Structure 1
């Protein structure tokens, strides 16, 4: 897929987005999910301009669902429209990333600790495949698969608390985040440690060890902020 800067095009900067294979029937939804994952992974870069036709060529579909998906991302504040060119990825400041982390910590840590008391073990074990997918994606260096599995795991875990609005809030914060340093961490072999924390967290939840759950969640969110800060 070719990416365009406001100056000259740069095919080398193009992210490797996944194919449209998946659970959803709507091209628009699946394209939007893939684009969000690429944004979070930092593979669609701030300031870059991407056209709907070049994205459509990458997906092997018409430009219409791609353009509609990008317009969804405009509404979410993830990209801006650039007349006659396409869509520019919006930047996120360090202050915003700090605020996102703070809000997530306020919501997620006590909610997940509570799950150590209330969530049934069968429901928790049902999240293990997603946790393993995160680890496998870290091992293979598939950043978009990493982000997609990570999102399924964390939102699925929070959903066990039974508060739909809480899940929506955290989901929105995750969409707005940027893990600019993922590529560098893959190359350095450091992403795997963060990935394995998902399995550690599940084990602590199933063991009903609230202290361990609190420690892992606090450490994990700290690592996430570190990923956000590790810009290329």
Structure 2
């Protein structure tokens, strides 16, 4: 059964891992050992930590780590995992219906991305970003993405922009629901495809990492702001298809000036 992230009804997640396939030690699925993970990152204790509220979100057996990573990113974007709070892998594993090992692995990836930080013998703390840091990250995004978009406006054939139209329209649809967590994914998908026309995979990855770092519940506008942001995607495609360089320049300046 699909469950939505708290505050965003209808956000899909995957099915539960069959209990008999979960790794065990001495018959206890929570006592698995993973020597490949440093002790500081895996020796967390719950210390009476309360179970997370809401229905248990489960993931599929195939690519468990990837499924958990997606679920954690959605929970972060939706504010279900709160900045400043510490979460242990065993408790999160119970929340997703998996062992603690894939949760630790996914959390290590999020730590590399700057979304969480390791708290030795406890778990992972969700990083808190202040207004200044978010503004600095948005500025760096603009410094990277704006020149690329302006170059693409001069070099990409007009018919190629039609390929991005479904992504822009999907972002508009999602924005109308007011669900920031779901819109964050649609927004990144559009920007990823846009920058992908440059043919520079390293640029796409670096820009997406910056994009993720700027997307936090506290930094996002409400429904009206999401709708306005999505509308800028459509307007930008119209200007790019029309070859209107002045309009493109104004739109990218406005879009990144309000990026969050």
Q: Deviations over 1:41-91 (max 9, x none)?
A: 544321012233443344344433222101111222221223444321012
Q: Deviations over 1:169-190 (max 9, x none)?
A: 212211222333467613xx33
- Which one has the bigger helix percentage? 1
Aligned residues: 216
Unaligned runs of 5+ in 2: 7-46
| Structure 1 equivalent of residue 251 of structure 2 | 216
* Root mean square deviation, CA, Å: 3.2
Select 1:130's aligned residue among 167, 171, 177: 167
Select 1:50's aligned residue among 72, 76, 87: 87
Answer yes or no: is the 8 Å Cα contact 1:42–1:182 preserved in 2: no
1:79 aligns with 2:116: yes
What is the distance in 1 between the residues matched to 2:71 and 2:245?
35
Select 1:92's aligned residue among 105, 129, 136: 129
Q: CA deviation at 1:154?
A: 0.3
TM-score for both structures, normalised by structure 1: 0.78
Query: Greater CA deviation, 172-181 or 96-105?
Result: 172-181
Map 1:1-232 to 2 at 5 A: 9=50, 11=52, 26-181=63-218, 185-186=222-223, 189-225=224-260
Unaligned runs of 5+ in 1: 226-232
Answer yes or no: is the 8 Å Cα contact 2:77–2:184 preserved in 1: yes
Q: Deviations over 1:143-165 (max 9, x none)?
A: 22211111111011011112222
What is the distance in 2 between the residues matched to 1:149 and 1:123?
19
TM-score for both structures, normalised by structure 2: 0.70
Answer yes or no: is the 8 Å Cα contact 1:28–1:68 preserved in 2: yes
What is the distance in 2 between the residues matched to 1:93 and 1:216?
26
**What is the DSSP-based 3-state SS (H/G/I as helix, E as strand, rest coil) of the residue aligned with 1:203?**
helix
Q: CA deviation at 1:124?
A: 2.1
Q: 1:114 to 1:20 in 2, by over 3 A?
A: farther
**What is the DSSP-based 3-state SS (H/G/I as helix, E as strand, rest coil) of the residue aligned with 1:224?**
coil
Q: Which has the larger radius of gyration?
A: 2
Q: CA deviation at 1:37?
A: 4.3
What is the distance in 1 between the residues matched to 2:242 and 2:110?
40
| Structure 1 equivalent of residue 18 of structure 2 | none
What is the distance in 1 between the residues matched to 2:150 and 2:116?
35
